[in-house]
Structure 1
Amino acid sequence: MNRRIRALLIDLSGTLHVGADPIAGAARAIQRLRDHKIPFRFCSNTSKESTNDLLKRLRDAGFIVHEDELFTSLNAMKRLLTERGIKRPLLLLSPSALDDFKDLSDEDNSAQDHDAVVVGLAPNSFTYNTLNQAFRILSSSNGQRPIPLLTTHRARYVRSSSGELSLGPGPFVTTLEVGVGDGCKAEIVGKPARAFFEVCLRDLGVGRKRDISDEDGQRDGEELKADHVAIIGDDIEADLGGGALELGLNRILVKTGKYRKGDEMKAGITPPDSVYESIAEIVDALLEEKGKSM
Structure 2
Amino acid sequence: MTPRPAIRALLIDLSGTIHVATQPTPGSPQAIHRLRASSIPFRFCSNTSKESTAVLRSKLAEMGIETHDNEVWTSIGAVNSLLRDRGVERPFILASESAAEECRRDIHDNPVLPYDSVVVAFAPTQFDYVALNTAFRVLMNEHNTQRGRPLSNCPFIATHRSRYIGDSDGALSLGPGPFVAALENASGRTAEVVGKPQRKFFELVLSSLASDVQDREGVVAVIGDDVQNDLGGGAVELGFWRVLVRSGKYRDGDENNGGVRPPDEVCDNFASFVESLLNI
Q: TM-score, normalised by structure 1?
A: 0.86
- Residue 263 of structure 1 aligns with which residue? 254
Q: Quote the sequence identity (%).
A: 49
Is 1:125 matched with 2:132? no
SS in 2 for 1:71: strand
Task: Name the amino acid aligned to 1:171.
Answer: P
Task: State the one-letter code of the partner of 2:118.
Answer: V
Query: Which residues of 2 match residues 199-238 of structure 1 at below 5 A?
Result: 199-205=204-210, 209-210=214-215, 228-238=219-229
Output one character per residue of 1:143-170: Cα deviation in whole Å (capped at 9) or x when no partner: 9552221011010001122212111000
TM-score (norm 2): 0.90
Report the residue type matching 2:222 in the other structure.
I
Partner residue in 2 for 1:194: 199
Report 1:1-294 matches (<5 A). Answer: 2-103=4-105, 104=107, 113-140=114-141, 144-181=151-188, 184-205=189-210, 209-210=214-215, 228-266=219-257, 268-289=259-280
Cα distance in 2 for residues equivalent to 1:71 and 1:242: 18
- C-alpha deviation, 1:284, in angstroms: 1.2
Unmatched 5+ stretches in structure 2: 143-148
Q: How far apart, CA to CA, are the structure 2 residues paired with 1:8 and 1:239?
A: 13
In structure 1, stretches of 5+ residues that fail to align are 211-221, 290-294
2:212 and 2:58 map into 1 onto residues whose CA distance is 32
Shift of 1:56: 0.9
Label 1:190 to 1:200 Cα distance change in 2 as closer, same or farther (>3 A): same
Structure 1: 4+ residue segments shifted above 4 A:
102-107, 141-145
State the alpha-carbon separation in 2 of the partners of residues 55 and 268 from structure 1: 32
Deviation per residue, 1:47-94 (Å, 9 max, x gap)? 001122111111111111013111000011101101111121100001
- Quick one: distance in 1 between partners of 2:255 and 2:46? 20
CA RMSD of aligned residues (A): 2.2
Letter in 2 for 1:169: P
Write the distance in 2 (CA, Å) between the matches of 1:262 and 1:281: 19
How many Å separate the matches in 2 of 1:162 and 1:115?
A: 38
